[in-house]
Structure 1
Amino acid sequence: MRAIVKTGDGQVGLREVADLPGPGPGTITVNVAATGICGTDRNEIRGTDGMIPRILGHEVSGVVAAIGDPVPGVPIGVEVGDRVVMETDAYLCRACHWCRTEQFNRCPHRTGIGRTAEGGLAEKINIRADAVHRLPDSVPLLEGALLEPLAVAVHSVLEGPFRVGPGSTVVVTGPGTMGQLTAQVCTAVGARVIMVGLDRHEARLRTAKDNGAYAAVSSESTDVRALIDSLTDGMGADHVFECSGSVAQVNSGLSYLGKGGKLGLVAFYKEPLTIDAMQVVHNELEIVGCRGKRASSFRTALALLDEGRLSLSPLIGSVRSLDEWDEAIEEVGRGLKVIMLPGGAALDSPLP
């Protein structure tokens, strides 16, 4: 089969690889329909230290092709032919506290597809039978490739210490895909959302506004704190979700919060954070790391989609075949959300 592979010498390319074996006990085989590429994938391609030879890709939708023998404790909730999306946890110890409480993102022994296990930028993938979720009929396979980052947004907003809901004022910094999804989840549960970007993000800010944000502004041309104060009688935001990966935006986010506010770090950072600790102390602020997602995150994300409370198609900037992987990576570098079609087959929705 064909796949995008990073080899041990750091080379990346489209290659013919051995066909997958049939699914083993407790696993299933999925014919991959669509795979999203995110900034993490781009970083892997550009030379992340410690990367071992691996098929890349972890934002996957597809169709169940085969199901292995059942294993006690591993439920199989799908049938051959079902349209599915998948969690990224390839292996779990199933014995630690985190596994027993379905907090799989914290299992110290987990492996993840596209990084420490074979990924989804390939025609097929084998995955844990209990790692897949049926797509509602209302959700096309193309949009299904966005379920993994959407689940991250759901986990960040709804499964941590944040009590986001009606009456909440939320600031989201960084209008990329992760920021857009985070903003939509906040809006879906009734929060008033202010999306913050830069002047060069005009189109993305417009997308956020079109998808329900109360306001979408550039911090280079708008006094964001003044805007927040005008909406909150000077109280400040209840929550800030930092999705840009910029250390500067972390400190800006702290300045947007009211007393007792919470700052969620959704992005990954390439340099250490330096913050004003006394600002945190005096205002009783909380800084919370938001990492990964859980099975419950997917269930909630799929329910919100099926209820029509989210809009994913406007976030897809480009659709590419595996043959166009070079162009796809270049587009990711320009901030587009790219979906690749490893199977090369027509999907169940028109392409953008």
Structure 2
Amino acid sequence: MQSSFINAIIKMLSGKSNQQESNDIDNKLAEEFNRTDWPNKYGDPDDIQQRLIHKIEEHLNAENSLQPHLIKRIFNNKAFIKIAATVIIFLFIGLHIFKHEAQQFVNNIIHSNSSNPIVGLSTNFNDSINIAEMEVGQTYSSDYFSIKKIDKQHFNYQPGSTSLNKLIIKIATGNNQAYTINLEDGSQVTLNSNSEITFPSHFEADKREVKAAGELYFVVAKRSHQPFTVSAKDIIAEVKGTSFVFNTNSKTNKPFIALVEGSLEMKAKDEKILLKPGEKGVLESKKLQVDPFDEEQILAFTNNLFLFQDEPISHILQDIASWYDMELEMKGTGWEDIRFTIRISKENSIAQVIDILELTNDIEVNIKERRLIVRKR
């Protein structure tokens, strides 16, 4: 590509070209876009094109320096696709002045999936929103989705007016966080701390599929023609309308699904069971088994409570330390013999929680920096 044409592109994007010059550039870029070959190493062409369009559209919306009439012209003529073509052209023709920037831009889009967990809302297109910092009543919206903060821990998710294939939404909680999310179909999910849910920006017409990790409570809107499936590494729940707790974060390393209402099919590898209300399907030693459960205890996190019934003190303290973002140090041995039944609001400060624990006269708890140090009395 000739340097004169590069200068013409810059002139157009700066809003200084006349109408004929802009039309000539638009046409040229459209031709280049249509005949550009995608190297296999970048993956599926349609997927990469969607990512390019999404990211460029984001930048255009956020770029205050673009003149209003230029933004309008870009979107009316679908020229944001042609700007993507410009990036691709710069990348493949080897222009030194643009090569590094183009390569970095495309890499950021293509390799946007991160192995590091992101607390809040994120997407596979590299969006990241700290929903904890949103004000009550505030809405974050784009053409592809919106999320509104209804109250301190409650959010409403809706797909946008524009469908973007393969856009995946992830909502994750950290320590000292629990969120309730209204999904697009009317279902509701409550995430305990250090949990996450992943779902498509739009559910498909014949199925609703989500992935989950940690501890979550689902209240699924009934749709007989559109099954709702929750999957994790080792277990799957399939329902059409019901409520249940999905837990892959069990302290005993035994993932389970506890059915509160309705009916539910639980699967693990080649095995499956049908649960009834009040039954908990547990994966233990790679086999599914059915146990009863206490509903108040298993739903305690949805009411912002710690509720332990005859639980080992080590499990209790680990949950408390995790919620308050602290490290746990248990001094001495013989802790397996100490078990507590206790009910504590998560609204309490860590100091208040320690006071309650020490009323048992079994343990002494001290705080040093971010460490919870526990000794037997």
If the TM-score is normalised by the length of the shorter chain, which range does it land in?
under 0.3
Name which structure has the greater RCO, CA cutoff 8 Å, separation 6+.
1
TM-score, length basis structure 2:
0.24
Question: Which structure has the greater CA radius of gyration?
Answer: 2
